Structure 1
Amino acid sequence: MREVHPREILIATIARLLDGVRHVAVGASSPIPAAGAMLLRAQKKRAGAPPVRLSILGSVEHNFFTNGSAELFDCAGQGRIDAFFLGGGQIDGRGNINLVGAGEYPGSTPRWPGSFGSAYLYFVVPRVILFREEHSSRVLVETVDFTSAPGTSEDGVYRTGGPAALLTGKALFSFDKTRPGFTLESLHPGHDLAEVKAATGFGFAHAGSPKQTEAPDRATLDLLRGQIMDELSETYPDFASRLRSETAA
């Protein structure tokens, strides 16, 4: 069996970040977050713990909604979704995300797909995990060019949700809404603090010697490479097939 793949570390990290949730929703085009949620569900089932419900948009097998995003929004507004994932073309040091485009709006170039319901979900889902595999200064910026959804709100604004963590292909950060800002929690294998600082457009708190992100153990890898890839292939067949081939003996 080959060594742990970087994406397997991301999937296992997501499962740990979701620990304790009852219901996690995953948006479209999100194979790594979906795999992390599936891994958590499988681990809890094996341990005899209370079940974890998944709602993966675009999936038939792993989605109990029948009316798409409308039901997702209703469920979130009622406080029945514990965790969700958001990304962005830009993410800044205050947890703001930009899904519209780079440069001054409305002349942004390039233009991205759009904000959709990101601002709403950011306000009502208690544990939002910001996920972007690319870790570069063009993505992680000091200040977003357009705010699709703010990381924090002024006093007096009713808000039950917000960012809990930022996970990238290089590192894991937690978010402190009282500062507000990010703290480096761990570096993924093969990456160091100097590299992460150089690739991050905003400042962040960190320990003198940051710890390394925990890699999945053999039992977790066996589960991930077997059952989880089987489940994931229903919604993301190309991703599951590619990851399987890259981790095959």
Structure 2
Amino acid sequence: MRIDYVIKAIASLLEDGELVYVGLNSGPALLGAFLARDMLKKDIDIVGVAEAFNPNSITFSPSTGSPFFLEGSPVMTTADSFDLAQKGKLDVMFLGPAQVDQETNVNLTGIGGYEKPSVKLPGGAATAYLMPLVKKMILWNLKHSKTTLVEKVDFVTGTAKHSGNRVYLVTNLGVMRYNRAKRKWEILYYYPWSEYEDFEKNTGFPFDVANGTVVLVREEEMAYLDKIDPYNLRSSLDF
């Protein structure tokens, strides 16, 4: 499945020693974090909105807030996670916005005018608070297009514009990284099916290329994902 390459890309962005916070309904992020820890052997700790700290194993369910996450795991409250972010000790957080723009602004509020949006989105929760505080922000959106990667978002739910943190964007075409020195997004990873022209046709702002690396998924990594996703729920995320 192509979604497995997205999961591997997410796993590849995680580094030893990081405390990784997985938000609500972030299936690719959750699977990517466990793939990084268990298969790529990265020394990371995983925290989720179910308030579990570094579970030994998981069985993937429709919600990353499911109580399954607590089995065999100590508890770390959401308030504790936010406190760590304020102290600069929360290393990684994932976010799935509907729109991302050329300045790292994200939109989880609504499409169209704020007073009468054409689409009302779920809302930002703690996005505005956490986004500039987390050391590494990994955004993900599985519909890379000029309506999702836009010059300017319809509503700024949160931003890392005034922060010094690292920001990545994982999509169905590959991975982009925000270069703060250039104030510009740049391609970091491709997938076997994507090329520069695909980014050019489907991105609503100028960008550069930092790397030509292609993300590959090994058979044993696919087997691991099948093991922790016995109901094949990630197929619903495939594209």
Instruction: Say if 1:138 and 1:37 are closer, same or farther in 2 by CA, change over 3 A.
Output: same
Q: How many residues align?
A: 219
Q: Pick from 8, 12, 20: which aligns with 2:16?
A: 20
Q: Which residue matches 1:146?
A: 155
Q: Pick from 176, 179, 189: which aligns with 1:176?
A: 179
Q: Which has the higher helix share?
A: 1
User: Shift in Å at residue 75 of structure 1?
Assistant: 2.7
| CA–CA separation in structure 2 for the residues paired with 1:181 and 1:150 | 14
Q: Which residue matches 2:53?
A: none
Confirm whether residue 134 of structure 1 aligns to residue 135 of structure 2: no
TM-score by length of 1: 0.79
3-state SS of 1:123 partner: coil
Confirm whether residue 77 of structure 1 aligns to residue 86 of structure 2: yes
Q: Which residue matches 1:156?
A: none
Q: Which has the higher strand share?
A: 2
| CA–CA separation in structure 2 for the residues paired with 1:28 and 1:21 | 23
Q: Which residue matches 1:217?
A: 218
What code does the residue aligned with 2:126 have? G
Deviations 1:54-89 (A, max 9, x none): 11221435454464x333312322333210111211
Conserved? CA contact 2:106–2:153, under 8 Å:
yes
Conserved? CA contact 2:178–2:185, under 8 Å:
yes
User: Shift in Å at residue 170 of structure 1?
Assistant: 0.8
| CA–CA separation in structure 1 for the residues paired with 2:226 and 2:181 | 39
Confirm whether residue 199 of structure 1 aligns to residue 211 of structure 2: no
Q: Which residue matches 1:60?
A: 67
3-state SS of 1:107 partner: coil
User: Shift in Å at residue 163 of structure 1?
Assistant: 4.2
Aligned-residue sequence identity (percent) comes to 26
Instruction: Say if 1:204 and 1:212 are closer, same or farther in 2 by CA, change over 3 A.
Output: same
3-state SS of 1:74 partner: helix
| CA–CA separation in structure 2 for the residues paired with 1:21 and 1:181 | 28
* Unpaired stretches in structure 2, ≥5 consecutive residues: 50-64
* Unpaired stretches in structure 1, ≥5 consecutive residues: 154-158, 231-236
Instruction: Say if 1:145 and 1:133 are closer, same or farther in 2 by CA, change over 3 A.
Output: same
